[in-house]
Amino acid sequence: MVFGKSLVIAGLTVAAVEASVLQQSARAPAACTYVIPEIPGGFSQRRFADFSGNTPSDSAATVLGTYNIGISQYGPLGTPVPHDFVASNVAFGNGYLGLKVNAYTSGSVHSAEIVTNDVFKYASVRTVLKSTAVQGIVEGNFFYLDVASGSQEIDFEILTTTLFNSNNPLVPPGIWATNHNNTGSEANTFDTIPFTFDPTADYHEYRIDWFGTTTNYYIDGTRVAQHTDPSTTPTVEGHWIWNAWSSGDPNWSMGPPTADGTYQIRSIDLYTGYTSTC
Ligand SMILES: *[C@@H]1O[C@H](CO)[C@@H](O)[C@H](O)[C@H]1NC(C)=O
Ligand SMILES: *[C@@H]1O[C@H](CO)[C@@H](O)[C@H](O)[C@H]1NC(C)=O
């Protein structure tokens, strides 16, 4: 049986997505319930958070809670302009979950974040999202865990000022695919992938598959980056996070924004419970 029918969304390239997960027969071991052709082994659990039917009167906390995802409230943190994560900036629009960053006036840049309550090692995470056209915002979709000596991360990040062009050689244009080992030497492995479409015009599927020492990054079912360096691949269980924020850093987010901007998430399809052999 082929999964993904519910991902048939206007503007999304669905053919590759539909073929990207196969559900095994009921007799297969539970850990092999979901098999992805590019990944050895399989996954036992799927949560599919489809926000396409939600409206502004729905409670984001209640709906996200059914998928074991929470809403962050912390800060301020960051330089040169501090930002804080404000629960009320996570709210439904018509057919999407919105993560809003407010226009900056003074104090902190009010930002938005959601995070899985559970932790897991290895996953396939597909987020269908539309970027804000407001500049100066980072839109993240990433694995994160603090470890004693720092943190480990796998990140897809869209920087809304430098989608297509950049005046700063430290911040080449495109979407960032980065594996971080924020311990000791702060090593990372990254690619910046030029956009072949306008991410603010429509929804697209951004997918990360993480297994063993491999991280594969996909857009609309096409692999756009692959990282296999063991020293920058997380080794521990951690959370998945989606956020939108700005620190006014001219070498990263740019901004802070002068208008409200909302990162729109239409769905999250998350596979966990990995086993390397089926
Ligand atoms: C990260 O870097 C530290 C220090 O260089 C190293 O000991 C460790 O093995 C690296 N890899 C991971 C996944 O932590
Ligand atoms: C941005 O990078 C430049 C060049 O490395 C550096 O001189 C400057 O201090 C950086 N700015 C900030 C705010 O970190």
Residue 7 CA to ligand 2 center (angstroms) comes to 42
Question: Of the bound ligands, which one is closest to the alpha carbon of residue 232?
Answer: 1
- The yes-or-no verdict on residue 8 having pLDDT over 60 is no
Which pair of structure tokens corresponds to residue 242? Answer: 């989606």
136 CA → ligand 2 middle, Å: 16
Instruction: Report the residue among 168, 246, 249, 251 best suited for mutation to probe ligand 2: largest number of ligand atoms under 8 A from its CB.
Output: 251
pLDDT tens digit string along 196-221? Answer: 999 999 999 999 999 999 999 999 99
Torsion angle defined by CA atoms of residues 53, 129, 8 and 41, in that order, rounded to the nearest 10 degrees: -110
The residue whose CA is least distant from atom 6 of ligand 2 is 251
Q: Which tokens go with 218?
A: 């996909």
Ligand 2, atom 7: closest residue by C-alpha: 251
Residue 28 lies in a domain: no
Q: State in Å: Cα 231 to ligand 1 middle.
A: 5
Looking up residue 147, the CATH number of its domain turns out to be 2.60.120.200
Neighbour count for residue 73 (Cβ, 10 Å): 13
Query: Looking at the whole model, is its pTM more than 0.75?
Result: yes
Instruction: Report if residue 7 sits inside a domain.
Output: no
Ligand 1 nearest atom to the CA of residue 231, by list position:
11
Decide: 174 and 131 in contact? Cβ < 8 Å: no
Portion of the chain with pLDDT greater than 70, in percent: 90
| Those residues with Cβ within 8 angstroms of residue 89's Cβ, 6 or more apart along the chain or in another chain | 99, 100, 101, 102, 110, 111, 112
* CA end-to-end span of the chain: 17
How far is the CA of 102 from the CAs of 64, 107, 245, 246, in angstroms?
Answer: 22, 12, 9, 10
Residue 161 is part of which domain span?
Answer: 39-275
Query: At residue 96, what is the residue type?
Result: Y
CA of residue 78 to ligand 2 center, whole Å: 15
**DSSP helix, strand, coil percent of the chain (3-state; round to 5):** 10, 45, 45
- Please state the domain count of the chain: 1
Query: What residue owns the CA closest to ligand 2's atom 10?
Result: 251
Mean pLDDT over 59-69 rounds to 98
The CA 152 to ligand 1 mean position distance, Å, reads 9
Q: Residue 23's pLDDT band (boundaries 50, 70, 90)?
A: low
- Whether residue 177 lies inside any domain: the answer is yes
pLDDT bucket at 4, cuts 50 / 70 / 90 = very low
Q: Which amino acid appears at position 83 of this protein?
A: H
Measured from the alpha carbon of residue 249, the closest ligand is 2
> What is the chain's mean pLDDT, rounded?
91
From CA 78, how far away is CA 259, in angstroms rounded?
Answer: 20
Residue 55 lies in a domain: yes
Residue 30 lies in a domain: no
- For residue 167 and ligand 2, the question of a CB distance below 6 A is answered with no
pLDDT at 220 (0 to 100): 98
Pairwise CA distance, residues 260 & 124, whole Å: 31
Which of the ligands is closest to the CA of residue 213?
Answer: 1
Q: Separation of 137 CA from ligand 2 center, angstroms?
A: 18
What pLDDT digit, counting tens, does each position of 214-255 carry?
A: 999 999 999 999 999 999 999 999 999 999 999 999 999 999
Q: Is the CB of 235 under 6 A from ligand 1?
A: yes
Domain-embedded: residue 2 = no
**Is residue 200 situated within a structural domain?**
yes
Helices H, strands E: what count in the chain? 2, 19
Residues 197, 204 contacting (CB under 8 angstroms): yes
Mean pLDDT of 142-158: 92
Question: Is 82 a domain residue?
Answer: yes
How far, in Å, CA of 70 to CA of 191, rounded? 29
pLDDT of residue 21: 75
